[in-house]
Chains A and B, each alone.
Chain A
Amino acid sequence: MKRRMITLDGNEAAARIAFLCNEVIAIYPITPASPMGEHADAWSAQSQRNLWGSVPQIVEMQSEGGAAGAIHGALQSGALSTTFTASQGLLLMLPNMYKIAGELSPTVFHIAARSLAAQALSIFGDHSDVMAARTTGFGILFSNSVQEVMDMALIAQAATLQGRIPLLHVFDGFRTSHEIGKIEAVSDETVRAMIDDGLVAAHRARALNPEHPVIRGTSQNPDVYFQARESVNPFYQAMPAIVQQCMDRFAELTGRHYRLYDYYGVEDADRVLILMGSGAETAQETVDHLNAQGEKLGLLKVRLYRPFDAATLIAALPATVSAVAVLDRTKEPGGDGEPLYKDVLSALAQGVASGEAPCSTLPRVIGGRYGLSSKELTPGMVKAVFGELKRDRPKNGFTIGIHDDLSHTSLPWDETFRTDASHKAVSALFYGLGSDGTVSANKNSIKIIGECTDLHAQGYFVYDSKKSGAVTVSHLRFGPEPIRSTYLISDDEAHFVACHQSVFLERYDMLDKAEVGGVFLLNTTAPPDKAWDTLPRKMQQQIIDKGLKFFVIDAYRVADESGMGQRINTVMQTCFFAISDILPQGQAIDAIKQAVEKTYGKKGKQLVEMNFRAIDTSLANLHQVTVPAVADSAFERPSVVPENTPRFVQEVTAKIIAGRGDTLAVSQLPADGTWPTGTSQWEKRNLALEIPEWDEELCIHCGKCPFVCPHGVIRSKVFDPTLAKKAPETFKHVPVKGKEFPEGWHISYQVSPEDCTGCTLCVDICPAKDKQNPGRRALNMVPQPPVREQERCNWEFFLSLPEFDRRKLRPNVIKEAMVTQPLFEFSGACAGCGETPYLKLASQLFGDRMMVANATGCSSIYGGNLPTTPWAHNAEGRGPAWNNSLFEDNAEFGLGMRLAVDKQAELARELLQKLRAEIGEEQVEALLHAEQNSEPGIYDQRERVAELRKILKGIDKPEARQLETVADQLMKKSVWIIGGDGWAYDIGFGGLDHVLASSRNVNILVLDTEVYSNTGGQTSKATPRGAVAKFSAGGKPTAKKDLAMIAMSYENVYVAQVAYGAKDIQTLRAFLEAESWDGPSIIIAYSPCIAWGNDLAHNHEMQDLAVRSGHWPLLRYDPRRLELGENPLQLDSKAPSIGYRDFVANETRFNMLWRSHPESAEQFLHESQEEAQAHFHHYEQLAALSFQKSDTGEDKEK
């Protein structure tokens, strides 16, 4: 039988089996498991059917806890049910997992294993999450490769039905979940043969059913709980054999035979490595290599980790083994070794003691940690571990893969060690921009090679944590044998290196990776005869030394001339095939064309023709450069950060920016996750092709451009013009308009050219238009490169000018408020981000006294992802203090901050009272009763606290020492709780609600993008009716939750709904009012997002249409007005003045439904239109109610 090969990633492999074998699938997005849910949702939307001919029901829940609850209910009601998750998501499922296992309910949860948030969050892979679930009673079955994911998903499903023990089917996040591999498909027939309908019937028969009712979930007491807990033992005892039986049955069907504990290596091995997960693949590759050289090594792959079958595990070991190393991909701080090590050790000890072990004496057993957060495990590292086993006193509790100069746990390894496998496969590396299509072209190439040849293929993609200008590095391997290299392409290994953006020449040492005699392809606008001169000297030398063939193409020109704009993927893909010799050129070109036809054939002939043109013209424009004998470049790759940066930035941050973070030693990193703020200023990314240029003649100094700039790159400053005497010649400044500033002072609007992303929103908002020259404004986009150096100098000078005295500014006037320094700058958010202007505004108004609790999501990633972070500090060192706890607990986290601040302020006041005599009556009174509702008031209190500290130094009393530790709390703190709609509307709503009800002075900012943006646009309860989002492919059928109305129901909560692009002044007022309200406040901020499918250059228009259509009424509910006998609710936008259709027609997320589901699109539109009208009318009526007190003191109703 011809085996059917398919090319897919681990997530899809798991999802395919899960979809076939289940009826109810409850999902919640979390990286890196989200794609499994997305696939299942997609297939369900396309009415694909499961094994029993029915379309599985997919439900998105409000959290993983909710998903687990729903699964528990579905299992108890007899449905075959599953979910997909990782990391914190798995932790949220733990309570239910105990229940599900306790009730012996068969299910398989598919886990893309990921690190847990500890000193920091990490989205990458390790086993910390799974290890935290090992006590739940779930079995744990590991897959090590994409092939195994598909195989083991099915084996797990068959085994759980038979043994009734629920299973976690685990594979490594990213390394396996996102690796694309060519694998042998598990056919539907195999699935059919593996799943016993008798067992399915038995599961259904156990369901809760009023026809024959039972009760489960009773409450048991000391008399029986213990015994009942022990009653499941036979099931756990039987489970390993059941799993093995399923593996055996699977082997009969497919020829792929797995064992619970798969031994690999020579029969008489003296040293054995034990591990689980993708690292086992690299270990196998290394064992092969070393054994071929005469070593006697073995590898034990642990597949079934729970129930742990100690006897079978030790029986799998060769009798000759004298030393064992157990590698754990997790850390159990404070433990006496990690879990797998401990389990193996006790298994061996028991086995030897009882005489059941194959060896008569206990081998030496050491344990170590590797691979946390997807840290590489290379053959060199595996070799080092085997090497350690040979030593007389091998290290126990070692680490491999890092340099631990602190606790000296790490083993050294040979970074240059390569296995034979690296020579058998062709390796190719591609450096691209996320947005240029490099990754999709490479995925496509893998498919082509997979389908057109017998070669095995592997693709792994290193993505960016930045959202704008994200860089991707694609690692592709092709070879005649299965590829087990679960590590990145190493130095001197790549046969082919492609640089898809010439700016990367300045950033990455990409030719370090090239092998001798390899090929280097560069996309450059430089003509072939000038391309050599654009390379840094080191690169030229590498090309000469390694004898690389050097090819160039101007892919942007070819793409543009073919009508493809900036999309260079097809061009570069064609070049790859043309010069990599993997496929005959003609065959490759045909295959690329077929792929284009398949992708675009149904979508438009022109698209196909454009791509064909690009393919055909690529070859004609591909040139080989004759490599000179001598490297003669006039420049070297510039240093990553300027020389004047702080030491920490030089020594740590700069290395991470340069992609050399792996080389940082343990002692260089903060132990408790504390990092300096304001580091984004050191990472100059030069993303913008064009930047705004200020026309000082036209400018009216309105302040709107700094207001809307998502990245804080355009700023205004008002200053004494005498300070500008030493300004660079091109630095622009003019007398400031308006009498609010000192006479004769100047204003400058300056752009940071290297931080601008070129989003154009400042130009869009600029109201100053040139009547003589239509289209020209006070800001106009100009090409960046020619002005980069000049504007860089101007920016530096601008920064050197003093900030205007905050005390003299009226914060409620945009022009004046925008003179203040943003303390949120240059984040990695998308160009044109709709969220960041709100954060920047808050940082300008309150940044120097702000504490931020930030829910996980976009804002925690662009706000807190290393290497550099945007929350900054001012010249006095003050600025927002920021932390991200989790996704689900952020409101509570922020409330905790408030409680601490309030408690300590109270303590400080008590201590002041106690020290009244020593400090002085007048000082104490002033400190206690300070007005801190204005900038002058806050300034004065800071002065008083500074003075207090001086006085305290002279007081020799314990109270004085205590007061010194809490004196800062006498200065007003502004506590902000920030997160997206996924947090506020869904996973964190319970906590948010509780905090709203707390009466405490916290400011909640909801950045409402109406989807889970960070994980890729999944539906939340903020998603409007009719919008297409992931998990709502047919348009969301229900209306958006009215969070403002819910918050208003508390009556003592300040509530605002804002959209700065529609009415900036209302946004400004709302922020000021919310912050000044001494109680809970919530601002729900409309934030256009790339997940809506529109170019964010139209961000403001989208906001405006949302407001004018009634989708997003602007409002403020201020409880203070009640005291004044005024209606607390003010509607700040007019009744809908355009149809809802005009709003939705403008946005892809809505209008794509008109084509996919026209009838429901019309129906949703009709309903939304009516809702928008009714909704507004309702608010209008509420805002019109009279709250005047009557003479009798009772409220007078209109």
Chain B
Amino acid sequence: MTVDLRTRYLGLELKNPLVPSASPLSRSLDSARALEDAGAAALVMYSLFEEELREQMQQAAFLEQQEVGYSEAESFLPVHAEPGSGLDAYLEQLRRLKETLSIPVIASLNGVSLDGWVENGKLLAEAGADALELNAYYVAADPSISAGEIEQRYITLLSELRGVVSIPITVKLSPFFSALGHFVSQLESAGANGISLFNRFYQPDIDIDSLRVAPTLHLSHPGDNLLAMRWLGLLSGRVSLSMAATGGIHRAEDAIKMLLAGADITHLCSALLLHGPKRLREILNGISAWLEESPYDSLEQIKGVLSQHHAKDPADYERASYVRMLDSYKVNRTAWD
């Protein structure tokens, strides 16, 4: 017996809940095709970064202006090798992905300023994106800016964008909103069709040999997903927009938990980078196998069944379990003796 893995996300009918998230895998048509072949239901493209576009513009200006007036060299880098704008390249890749794949392609915008984003969003929609993901990657380091102001920035951005594009928009959020539930409902009112929980911030590290701060890239691990699961569980049934789980989904078990908590789909990234497209197939098979043995016939049925809304003890998702968990932790005696 085959189980029904179909799900609905951002108004899109997907054949299953596995959607590779923004990653370098969508930069190559080969790897994108491999993901589709492995069973991916949709694909989120790598992000179009605001600061990258800005840097590219500066670089373009630099390459145009590299002459120094020296008699033997009018330039130093080959001007003709200068690439077109990053935006053009992104739009081109989007078109190529759409041509190559039959699954929906979701374009991803990463930035915070309003400037240019609305226009870029429009171009992505025109280029054939099935949906837009707004990646709200912003570290609120400025002490003079309040939480309210930051939230308002996103709402404004979203409303403006909503005004010019008709395709679905989803917002990828960080976990650092003080009242996430409220914020999500505001996003919904402003026209968001979905949210994705949670964005991972790459943390700086300190190299104690060189005494420098250096960026690090750590891929996610299984188990990194519990924060997202909790919030999916809390929001499921309370908001009506689509929800995606992202971060730390490495095995079928991780994905199933998310769906049970209320996700419509689960994103995959680190697991694919580490293990290749076959991991997607394995997770998909795992979900099917679990579903076959479960009392449910279809994926739609399991979505949110263990959300707070449906939970036997709603407190499990909130503070009460905190004390219980702390108390239950067994001290490693050998380390303390």
A: which residues have CB within 8 A of B?
Answer: 31-32, 34-35, 38, 41-42, 45-46, 123, 174, 432-435, 437-440, 463-467, 470-472, 567, 599-600, 602-607, 830, 861, 1011, 1013-1017, 1028-1034, 1089-1093, 1104, 1108, 1134, 1137-1138, 1142, 1148-1149, 1151-1152, 1155-1159, 1162
Q: Beyond the given A602-B84, A604-B57, A1089-B76, could you list 16 further A-B residue pairs with CB under 8 A, ordered by the A residue number?
A: A42-B81, A174-B71, A434-B68, A463-B69, A464-B71, A465-B71, A604-B56, A1013-B76, A1017-B75, A1093-B59, A1142-B215, A1148-B62, A1148-B77, A1156-B81, A1159-B28, A1162-B27
A-B contact pairs, 5 of them (CB 8 A): A45-B80, A600-B61, A1016-B76, A1137-B210, A1156-B83
CB within 8 Å of A: which B153-172 residues: none
Stretch at the interface among B85-93, B137-145, B268-276: B85-93
Bound: A31/B70 CA distance, A:
11
Query: Is there a chain A Cβ closer than 8 Å to B66's Cβ?
Result: yes
Does B64 sit within 8 A of A, measured CB to CB?
yes
Complex: chain B residue closest to A437, CB-CB:
B65
| Cβ 8 A contact of B77, one of A607, A861, A1152, A1158 | A1152
Pair A1149/B83 contact, Cβ less than 8 Å: no
CB distance from B146 to the nearest CB of A (A): 26
Contact A433 B69 (CB under 8 A): yes
Partner of B85, one of A472, A603, A1016, A1151: A603
Query: Is the CB–CB distance between B76 and A437 below 8 Å?
Result: no
Within the complex, the shortest CB–CB distance from A1017 to chain B, in Å, comes to 4
What A residues does B149 contact at CB under 8 A?
Answer: none
Q: Taking A1016-B73, A1142-B214 as contacts, is the C-beta distance between A830 and B68 under 8 angstroms?
A: yes
| Chain A residues near B75 (CB-CB < 8 A) | 1016-1017
Q: How large is the interface on B (under 10, 10 to 19, 20 to 34, 35 or more residues)?
A: 35 or more
List the A side residues contacting B76 at CB < 8 Å: 1011, 1013, 1016-1017, 1030, 1089-1093
Chain B residues within an 8 Å CB radius of A467 = 68, 70
* A861 & B72 in contact (Cβ 8 Å cutoff): yes
**Cβ-defined partner of A434 (8 Å) among B57, B62, B70:** B70
Which residues 189-242 of B have a CB within 8 angstroms of A?
Answer: 207, 209-210, 214-215
| Residue B78 is within 8 A (CB to CB) of chain A in the complex | yes
Residues of B contacting A599 in the complex (Cβ-Cβ under 8 angstroms) = 64
Interface residues of B (CB under 8 A from A): 24, 27-28, 53, 56-57, 59-86, 88-89, 116, 207, 209-210, 214-215
Are A464 and B62 in contact, CB atoms less than 8 angstroms apart?
no
- Compute how far the CA of A265 lies from the CA of B116 in the bound complex, rounded to whole angstroms: 64
State whether A434 touches B60 (Cβ < 8 A).
no
Q: Which of B65, B209, B214 contacts A440 (CB 8 A)?
A: B65
| Complex contacts, B77 vs chain A, CB 8 Å | 1017, 1028-1030, 1091, 1093, 1148-1149, 1152
Is the pair B70, A440 in contact by a Cβ cutoff of 8 Å?
Answer: no
Task: Please state if A607 and B65 are interface contacts (CB–CB under 8 Å).
Answer: no
List residues of chain B with CB within 8 A of the CB of A466.
70
Q: In the bound complex, how far is the Cα of B59 from the Cα of A123, in angstroms?
A: 31
Complex Cα gap A519–B147 (Å): 59
B64 shortest CB reach to chain A, Å: 6
B51 to chain A, nearest CB (A): 13
Determine the distance from Cα of A1142 to Cα of B215 in the docked complex, in whole angstroms.
Answer: 9
Docked CA distance A471–B56 (Å): 29
Contacts of B72 in A (CB 8 A): 31-32, 34, 123, 861, 1014-1016
Chain A residues within an 8 Å CB radius of B86: 1155
Query: Most chain-A CB neighbours within 10 Å: which of B60, B116, B214?
Result: B60
Q: Which residues of B contact A1104 (CB under 8 A)?
A: 210
Write out the residue numbers on chain A whose beta carbons fall within 8 Å of the beta carbon of B74: 35, 439, 1016
Min CB–CB distance A50 → chain B (angstroms)? 17
Decide yes or no: A434 and B67 within 8 Å by CB, A1016-B72, A1029-B77 being known contacts: yes
CB of A463 within 8 A of CB of B89, answer: no
- Give me the 3 closest cross-chain CB pairs, A-B, nearest first: A434-B69, A1016-B73, A604-B57
CA distance A973 to B235 in the complex (A): 82
Give B56 Cβ to nearest chain A Cβ, in Å.
6
Q: What residues of chain A lie closer than 8 Å to B73, measured between beta carbons?
A: 34, 1013-1017
Nearest residue (CB) in A for B29 is A1159
> Are B67 and A603 within 8 A (Cβ)?
no
A481 to chain B, nearest CB (A): 29
* Chain B residue contacts of A603, Cβ below 8 A: 56-57, 60-61, 64, 84-85
Question: Which of A470, A1029, A1159 is within 8 Å of B69, CB to CB?
Answer: A470
A35 to B57 Cα, complex, angstroms: 26
Q: Is the CB of B27 within 8 A of A439?
A: no
- Greatest chain A CB density within 10 A among B83, B89, B116 is at B83
Question: With A434-B69, A1108-B210 known to touch, is A607 a contact of B82 (CB < 8 Å)?
Answer: no
Residues of B within 8 A of A46 (CB): 80
Cβ–Cβ < 8 Å partners of A471 in chain B: 69
Chain B contacts of A861 at CB under 8 A?
Answer: 72
Contact (Cβ within 8 A) B71 A31: yes
Which A residues are CB-close (under 8 A) to B83? 1152, 1155-1157
Q: Which residue of B lies closest to A433 (CB)?
A: B69
Q: Which residues of B contact A470 (CB under 8 A)?
A: 68-70
Task: Say yes or no: B59 contacts A602, CB within 8 Å.
Answer: no
Query: Which chain B residue lies CB-closest to A432?
Result: B69
Quick one: which of B28, B61, B82, B210 contacts A1152, CB cutoff 8 A?
Answer: B82
List B contacts of A600 (CB < 8 A).
60-61, 64
Chain B residue at smallest Cβ distance from A831: B68
